[in-house]
Amino acid sequence: MPSTRIIVAALLIVAILITPVQAKPNLSDWNNVQNLKLGSNIAVSTKRGELFEGKLKHIDADSLLLLVQVSRSARQAIEVRREDVAQVRKAKRRGLSMALGFGIGLAAGIAFGAISEAQHPGNDDPGLAQLVGALLGAPVGLAVGTGMPLKGKKVYVAP
């Protein structure tokens, strides 16, 4: 009866390896927003097309209150009523997109420099093209990363 043992062993291995399947969260549930920690950075899109990014200061069944940076030294409290909210996302920090842009620009600059050196052998300064590529690619990548912040995870979408 070795075939029975093999089948049982295979079924046990499959049972152990199967990961539990989680149900997709209901994004139209306002409780998702109410469960956010006060002080967390969020982005709120309204049904009129406005976008507010700031720190969550208060949340209840009818509205939320954000502290939005309006200038370097000034913040403004913005209340958004629940019926006006189209979408709420957890905000990603801009530093992450800046770091990614910097890294990608740096790597692309070094790669272009290496390609250039490979196409023009006999250069007196080996590695110079890679250095120049890195010095040009890193700030360009940083600028692109600064202008393209990452979107955070959706917390709520209006029904």
CATH domain 31-91 topology: SH3 type barrels. (2.30.30)
**Rounded average pLDDT over 86-108:** 81
Q: Check if the beta carbon of residue 137 is closer than 8 Å to that of residue 109.
A: yes
pLDDT digits (tens, 9 = 90+) for 107-137: 888 888 888 888 877 767 778 888 888 888 8
Higher pLDDT, 66 or 3: 66
pLDDT category at 1 given cuts 50, 70, 90 is very low
Q: Is 27 helix (H, G, I), strand (E, B) or coil?
A: coil
CA 58 → CA 27, 40, 85, distances in Å? 20, 11, 15
pLDDT per position as a tens digit, 59-78: 999 999 999 888 888 889 99
Q: Where are the domains of the chain?
A: 31-91, 94-147
Sign of the torsion angle spanned by Cα atoms 99, 103, 105, 109:
positive
Residue 142 clears pLDDT 60, i.e. is over it: yes
Judged against a pLDDT cut of 90, whether residue 57 lies above it is answered with yes
Q: What is the pTM of this model?
A: 0.55
Confidence band of 20 (pLDDT split at 50, 70, 90): low
**What pLDDT was estimated at residue 64?**
92
Which of the four pLDDT bands, split at 50, 70 and 90, describes residue 22? low
Distance of alpha carbon 155 from alpha carbon 88, whole angstroms: 5
